[in-house]
Structure 1
């Protein structure tokens, strides 16, 4: 069937997980598989990591936790998002641990739990990200309140870096110092807390002091470094590709696609690929990007449309059915770290933008 496809290399996922485990030593790994495992497919990714011995999973939405539970996942699931009443059944199950982001969250949990059937939670402290989490100056008061609330079992305390991927580490190091102060407070008031975590993928890769006894890798699990260049220990899990569906001759002066962004300067041969922005190929590739076919690079010409993309074949023989790779191929130009820099995007956008009509092929070599 001629359609865009994403090869999901589960062997690369296993490799990346083991590489991360080696980096973090005894720290437990909570794999971040929100947003359909960054476009890779949450269920197969979760099952592979479960078989590898991962401690648990992080999700953004309650519905993502439900999806994992219905698929037979039994590891702990940390819901990173806002506490809502429609998720209390999940929290009461004991498998899904909620995040306390405010004193209001604490009070709402207290009303819906009991000392005999406590709700497991992680407390998030905002050490400088400026998003979710209790403000740093309120950390001591809420930890004290939690120590007096047997209805809530606080299993972990965490925070999130704002700049861990940047070369200038001053702000990151300041956040880390703030978090260390939180840990000291928590240990003095709630000594039974098991886990402290702040390291995302960037923290895992470039800040060993942030690993503590739990880490939350996201994009690094999928073989992409957030540090701006590929990491030698990581292999891309996704190969995004599309088939050639038509090869045709163009005469000098002929134009290609919407808005006639490309006009042939001489007689040439082009190929049409069955993929477009409806599949997650960004329109910034118009007249700018390239694809890899059999190890060679071919420029994208004209505008990326909803379902089709044109490339210039040059003098090479390209046939219908040939595989064109947008990212995750062998050529350096197909590495998302470099594509993100070229187009002033972040790698996450490419991965999470892959749509549901793209077939995911699970490959375990």
Structure 2
């Protein structure tokens, strides 16, 4: 493994690289016409270039040099997942092919970092880790629809996961690189969006958070692994409940829509900054809860996780009544 640089140097380099790559990509995307146009299923009002998260993906790829054991698997999985997103940003891929590339990337990471192999065994631990990776990649993709949302959530989740397992080899460096890369991208996306992450960015963020979770899990006791679900809990709750509701209405799950709670909040008058702050406040509280019970024996970690998800589900339902689905999202494909 390469000698580790000081954290402050890694942070500055990651921030600068992410910003400069995103800025350069913005000019190229505008010139080539790779933009998202406004529509009834989107929240933005002007054509905006996409794919700016390529800088975050590059930073994570370079930072993998300090991850230690499993860095090659991490790098391969990142290239497959973020590469699928980049290809989709440039020319839409069939959903099945996109999912296949995500699964291949997730399998590379999951094989190197199976979840609780001493308890589940390597094959089952790999399968559960694969679901965790592909799930988070898609959750970040689903919730990348409001300025600053996906980026701030990845930043906070990365720091929370790193604090849960401070002794995990390379975890702190990877978390700092991801957080700094998010900070480098944010000026172009928040509070006003001049550039979108695109699928390359949302895939890289979800993959990065999943990787941090799996590396952290390797240092936690089996009964504490539940805590890994707390830093990304607001993303999982919003995405999960929205998917369940859409499935119940027999709608196409991968079709673009405006039914996530954050989208409904913006549609009912909340600013992008206000929604971003609301979700960030939950994540800060969830990370604090995870750290508060991290040293406690079972069943406290499971109880804390269950409490957070029950509270989040109830809050989602209450706010959902305040912010009902927009009329244009009511069509059923059944």
Regarding TM over 0.5, the answer is no
More helix by share: 2
With the length of structure 2 as denominator, give the TM-score of the two structures.
0.25
Looking at secondary structure, tell me which structure has more strand per residue. 1
Q: Which has the higher contact order (CA 8 A, sep 6+)?
A: 2
Q: Tell me which structure has the larger Cα radius of gyration.
A: 1
